[in-house]
Chain A
Amino acid sequence: MTFSAILLLLCYFAALLLITKPLGAYMARVFAGERTPLQRVLGGLERTTYRVLGVDPNEDMKWTTYCVALLLFSLASLVFSYGALRLQGVLPLNPQHFGATQMPAHLAFNTAVSFTTNTNWQSYSPELTISYFSNMVALAIHNWASAAVGMAIAIALIRGFARKNAEGIGNFWVDVVRCTLYVLLPLCLIGALVFMASGVPQSFAPYTTFTTLEGAQQTIAFGPVASQEIIKQLGTNGGGFFNANSAHPFENPNWLSNLFTLIVIWSIPASITHTFGKMVGNAKQGWAVFGAMAALALAGMLICISAEQAGTPHLDAAHIQTAATALQPGGNMEGKEVRFGIVSSALFADVTTGASCGAVNSMHDSYTPLGGLVPLFNMLTGEVIFGGVGAGLYGMLMFAVLAVFIAGLMVGRTPEYIGKKIERFEVQMAMLATLVLAASVLFFTALSSTYGAATGNLNNAGPHGFSEIFYAFASGTNNNGSAFAGITANTPWYNVTLGLAMLIGRFLVIVPLLAMAGALAKKNAVAVSSGTFPTDTPTFAGLLVAVVLIVGALSYFPGLSLGPIVEHYQMLALATH
């Protein structure tokens, strides 16, 4: 690994640490309903929103009410987006005259589900398929709403741990509105200006046609990119304005926008660990979770960057220099932008798949087998390596419950976490949430690997082709949205199966976790005793890392062996396939 790579990693984690405490503390105040300076400006809008929606902001919801409100809100917004996409031909802001021909029913289903579930998987080329209206209304609304919903679930689960003998876990509508107005909106306004300053366009003008030096006509697509770019990254959404996503120079023009993007993606997922610590009254609990996430992240980054910088035996055999020098990056540059090089590309791949973002600035399909294994494994952990906005924390808390259960079994005591006894129901719910992810990924991967209409859409045979399918369903189920590429997914089969995988991965995880929140809120806190296993220490963070790795390895090792691991050994043997 080069010195510049180590320096970039140090700078990146230093920036995250700087953000985590102030933003985390601010979010704790927002969700506790405390007064913040922004409330003076936006408080009227918040109250008006409640009045228009007919919401009583003082209502404290039981978990069942909270969850049903969430599900109905998601269904309504899904149906709205589906309709808007199918009717884009008769809706405004459509200078390219896109219609239902570009957006058939199976694609509209996949796209509406994808954005509702915060996945933002795109089976289509946006600049050739969807109007500005579709982009800014039908889809961007989910960039905000799905992020706010993810945050709301995490906050509800935190309240489950923080409250004692309580029936309710908060108010879904209040959590979503406060997250949107006081967290996402101000950060997006600032971030969009930073993107515009770095060269990202923001325009409603139609695409421009130029005559090239050879005399050919070339159409340059652009539009309101900066405003979508910031919420895409901040909300860990990932759906790009352009098909090339963050590899496109209008989405990510230079190293500065790239570094800013990386920080933005993990800003809320990292900070919410501190929100967790503040809300449960022990900041060290939050730092233990942060430490576990950071350790997993760093391990993946070191493996991925090292594998890409090492290149491949094929390059060595062709006498291509793979060692980095001052004039060239060395290693495996296939599928990577020269303006980012290997380190910024591999780091981006780790960050975007650690979070459930899915934005890409390089083609993950072109990574070395071990380099490509890391983004795949990041997703297969259930997106808990900082993870999606809110989703990362609630996923990690699910693993924390399993970790204290395992620790309790080892020492023969009733497990406790944040002063709450973890009993049969909580473990059942944590297991249901864990198992449904593995079941969805493996079932749909197996089905697609044996179905001719699905395997016929692959660009590669053998283990790499299997990795393409495995990656697609790992990405869909875990609501990441990045693609390995190399697979033509805009077919009825993939649009429907990936759509179902996204719904299962989002909502069938949320339900048991909110059930757990409701059960925990009702419990009284148990006093700390000499038999209490401390969960705010590096030892617990280590146990948490081990549980994530063990669950991931037990669930997915056979799949990883059939894909990137066997491909790695084929590569070492200079095999061709």
Chain B
Amino acid sequence: MSDLLYLTMAAGFFLLAIAYVYGCEKLRGGSQ
């Protein structure tokens, strides 16, 4: 159970980081 918790936490962080990538790209498009 705790394994699933920690792995989910790690996967969740990387999903947020990928969302951050596209957020930055959107910001770049907006600033041009």
Contact = CB atoms under 8 A, between A and B. Distances in A.
Interface of A: 63-64, 67-68, 71-72, 74-75, 78-79, 82, 86, 104-106, 108-109, 112-113, 423-425, 428-429, 496, 500, 503, 507-508, 511-512, 514-515, 518-519
B17 A508 contact: yes
Interface string B1-32: 01101110111011001101110110110011
Contact of A511 (B5, B24, B32): B24
A500 B24 CA distance: 21
Contacts of B10: 75, 78-79, 82, 109, 112-113, 503
28 contacts: A63-B25, A64-B25, A71-B17, A72-B14, A74-B14, A75-B10, A75-B11, A75-B14, A82-B3, A82-B7, A82-B10, A86-B3, A105-B2, A105-B3, A106-B2, A109-B9, A424-B31, A425-B27, A425-B28, A425-B32, A428-B27, A496-B9, A507-B13, A508-B20, A511-B21, A512-B24, A515-B25, A518-B28
Contacts of A113: 10
A42 B13 CA distance: 36
A64 B22 CA distance: 7
Contacts of B2: 104-106
B21 A71 contact: yes
Contacts of B27: 425, 428, 515
A439 to B, nearest CB: 14
Give me the 7 closest cross-chain CB pairs, A-B, nearest first: A105-B2, A515-B24, A109-B6, A75-B14, A425-B31, A507-B17, A67-B21
A429 B21 contact: no
Contacts of A496: 9
Nearest to A112: B10
Contact of B21 (A68, A82, A423): A68
Question: Which of B11, B27, B28, B32 has most chain A Cβ within 10 Å?
Answer: B28
B6 A515 contact: no
Nearest to A74: B14
A500 B13 contact: yes
A196 B2 CA distance: 41
A421 B30 CA distance: 17
Contact of B18 (A68, A86, A112): A68
B15 to A, nearest CB: 9
Nearest to B19: A511
Contacts of A71: 14, 17-18, 21
A275 to B, nearest CB: 25
Nearest to A113: B10
Contacts of B7: 79, 82
B25 to A, nearest CB: 5
A74 B14 CA distance: 9
Contacts of B11: 75, 79
Contacts of A514: 21
A519 B28 contact: yes
A401 to B, nearest CB: 15
Given A79-B7, A82-B6, A105-B3, A515 B13 contact: no
A316 to B, nearest CB: 50
A425 B27 CA distance: 8
A206 to B, nearest CB: 29
Contacts of A500: 13
A63 B32 CA distance: 16
